[in-house]
Amino acid sequence: MTDLVVVAFPEHETAFALRAKLATLQKNYLIDMEDVVVVVKDAKGKVKLHQAQNLTAAGAVSGGFWGTLFGMMFLNPLLGAAIGAGAGAISGTLTDIGINDKFMKDLAASFQPGCSAVFVLVRKFTGDKLLESLDEFRGKGRVLQTSLVKDQEESLRVFLESQQQDAPDAAGAVGVASPS
């Protein structure tokens, strides 16, 4: 089963740092992610998605390979590669795997300018070891939404929001109402 976790931050750097840390932890088998996206609302209020995978480039490479192969069969590999790369790039642009882009943009639209969030689709994780490894993020974010079981969600919420007793409410910091 795959779970969604959305963590918001009052600035961009921490969100990108968390994504990089999660990628490292995936290499160490502490987490298995299906998708991870950093969503940023810039100073002008424009929402940008920073996908971990560039589907357009991947589609172009794959299309170029298959186009070359078919082009060789018909004695024109360069034309086949060009057509295949173009078709692959278009296919990659139109493909949406993982977390729904519209969902991420809609949620981020309610952020204040300059804020960000990390959207993670998690297949499985080692809870206690994972949180220990993420200690540098303790008290820096706010859990906006998860599909975790209640105990796991509460542990994550306490961990990420634990040092914010004296700070203003993180929901106000990112301009998002607490999920119900």
| Buried residues in 3-38 as b, exposed as e (16+ CB within 10 A) | bbbbbbbbebebbbbbbeebeebbeeebbebebbbb
Which residue would you say has higher pLDDT here, 134 or 164? 134
The DSSP symbol for 121 reads E
Three-state secondary-structure class, residue 178:
coil
- What pLDDT does 108 receive? 85
- What pLDDT does 86 receive? 62
Alpha helices, H only, 74-164: 77-94, 101-108, 127-133, 150-161
- Domain architecture of the chain: domains with CATH: 3-51+100-174 (3.40.1520), 55-94 (no CATH)
pLDDT digits (tens, 9 = 90+) for 9-29: 999 999 999 999 999 999 999
- What pLDDT does 8 receive? 93
- What pLDDT does 20 receive? 93
Which residue would you say has higher pLDDT here, 60 or 28? 28
Q: pTM of whole model > 0.75?
A: no
Whether 37 has a pLDDT exceeding 70, the answer reads yes
* Gap between the Cα atoms of 111 and 70, Å rounded: 48
| pLDDT band with cut points at 50, 70 and 90 for residue 174 | very low
